[in-house]
Structure 1
């Protein structure tokens, strides 16, 4: 070491300065790879850590996505199930409307359905073949009312009624004798399935139509919330008016016959108006 210092002192000042710069450059260049390696290691480590952390986050997102997909799948299944049930209920309504009134009542009693169902079915049975859109809306409404029914019971009742399987109907609906007696009693009351509010409306309409009150006649025929067979309504009104006129002009011998005709005509018109008054609220 002493020899090195001694030799350096013997060098001229200019050569000493050049040697100093040379050594500094060599030292600087020699440290660069180390610095670069160190920073590269840090960068690589950072990238590795950064790459490692999101991996856990992405796993959580995948789990959430899978949960969300399951939830959406359940929603789609639920919607599809509701659509199938709605279509089945509409089909029930169409099949019920093809039966006679006693058959419809028998099925509705056995299925413990509300009276609104009979009202709606009686109305759709009165709609003419040209009232297609009105029938479609009415059957959709009937379908909503029938969704509360027990599917297996409804299918069994409808099928048994189609083929006339009285034994099955007896088992499902109870004693046939009791059913017939109830149906005969019900025929005396045209408002069996109508609330008192609609009874009052139907009675007012009945009196106005028979007396040819223009204001009430326009009110009835201008009902737009329900598509009903206006030609059928005119026919029922004329039938009542004709039977009443015949009854007034009949002899004592024919009075019983004409009285029965008046009662039958009035009952038919009253049922039609009661159903119309009840259904127009929906």
Structure 2
């Protein structure tokens, strides 16, 4: 009896055994991004222990730490007034002995349509709070897909998104990733962008009130205390799976903190 092969995505070979640390652009240093950075510190340390070159992270955010960020985001009272990206990266470098970088500006094109400096990386992780920002990131990444001469060619985009108590993580490829032949699995070279696959749904679900919160109590009315904390490590576990196993059957998940149900999104 003939059965359908399981669809999987095989990790790009350059990520499995790189000569140099893999360049990662982490976009957003708020409730989710600040916690994703912690997960990346753990991942980098673990990869190094396994003989892997590890990660080199650049964190992008132009926001300043305010009192409303304390408690739900990973900032201390003594960091109020500092750039979020600088505060987090300085703390991470002191903690882990890394030489990661902070950018105190948005990840976007300038007024002349030029790409930002240091835009090139192999992996992009977005933790942004607006649909507009996602589409801007997607536009940049599609443009970078043509930059094939760089050592750190853009390969993967992992996007985090959430409402008050639900969220999702979706992994996409930037163009096609060369796949090996397999008798057991059906390799899938291209994983669609969230903006292409769920673009209309994103636009429909966009919050109209994007004003900053003035207090932690007000912030908690918009996002539950632990929604970001639960999404961050689960999403990074998908990235870890790509490194450790060289393949994945899942490209993300939907997560509901109200009923504690998480539904995987299969490679298709």
TMscore range, shorter length: under 0.3
Q: Rg bigger for which structure? A: 1
Higher strand share: 2
More helix by share: 1
**TM-score normalised according to structure 1 size:** 0.20
Structure 2-normalised TM-score? 0.21
Give the structure, 1 or 2, with the largest relative contact order (CA under 8 Å, sep 6 or more).
Answer: 2
